[in-house]
Amino acid sequence: MYGDEKRSALLMYSAVFTALITVGGWISVPFVVPFTLQTLFVLLAASVMKKYAVVPAALYVMFGTLGLPLFHNGTSGLGILLGPTGGFLIGFIPMAFIAGVFFSKKTRAADLSGMVLGILVCYFCGTVWFMVSAGASLPAALITCVIPFIAGDAVKITAAEMVTLRLRKGGRLLFD
């Protein structure tokens, strides 16, 4: 792809994935840390946009913090970023980058390693932030921020890999 074409694709896909991550946050089962589909769409952004998935992830956090109702259940603002789920929101940014870099290698092993590593980094940010913001111990934070989500996020990784293999087979690869 040439420069202008790549810039247009970057803009268009950034808008699409910022919107999809938002929808993933609106589909939410409320808990202290809610079950959502945000991680699925961050992974799909990484699958399609590779390392550039960092752009929609960062735009999502930025616009949500500025007041657009993009976070879980339509919430927004600095209060959410500084609250119990803020670490996950920040964690989406390195998660998108890490998974994207690994997707560029175009092997199943790399796809899965990148997605697992990305989610672990997101969990790490979420857990540390939760301990600070809620004054929770490490065991309490792991019970709230990690353990309930492992199975669901594993299903999301599987779904993202299925989509990735389809896209790769169809040769519809816009980003390296």
Ligand X SMILES: O=C(O)CCCC[C@@H]1SC[C@@H]2NC(=O)N[C@@H]21
Among 153, 157, 164, 175, binds ligand X (CB under 6 A): 153
Burial tier of 42 (Cβ tally within 10 Å: 0-12, 13-18, 19+): buried
Residue 158 beta carbon to ligand X: minimum distance, rounded to whole angstroms: 14
CB 42 within 8 A of CB 92: yes
d(CA 77, CA 99): 27
Residue 58 beta carbon to ligand X: minimum distance, rounded to whole angstroms: 15
Residue 66 beta carbon to ligand X: minimum distance, rounded to whole angstroms: 15
Residue 38 beta carbon to ligand X: minimum distance, rounded to whole angstroms: 5
CB 61 within 8 A of CB 90: yes
By CB under 6 A, how many residues form the interface with ligand X?
17
d(CA 59, CA 49): 14
d(CA 135, CA 70): 26
Nearer to ligand X, 35 or 124 (CB): 35
Nearer to ligand X, 33 or 57 (CB): 33
Among 17, 21, 22, 34, binds ligand X (CB under 6 A): 34
Q: Which residues of 52-73 are buried (b: 16+ CB within 10 A; e: fewer)?
A: bbbbbbbbbbebbbeeeebbbe
51 binds ligand X (CB under 6 A): no
Nearer to ligand X, 22 or 47 (CB): 22
* 66-to-39, 61, 80 alpha-carbon distances in Å: 21, 9, 11
Residue 34 beta carbon to ligand X: minimum distance, rounded to whole angstroms: 6
85 binds ligand X (CB under 6 A): yes
Nearer to ligand X, 149 or 175 (CB): 149
Among 13, 88, 102, 130, binds ligand X (CB under 6 A): 88
Q: Which residues bind ligand X (CB under 6 A)?
A: 25, 33-36, 38-39, 71-72, 80, 85, 88-89, 122, 149, 152-153
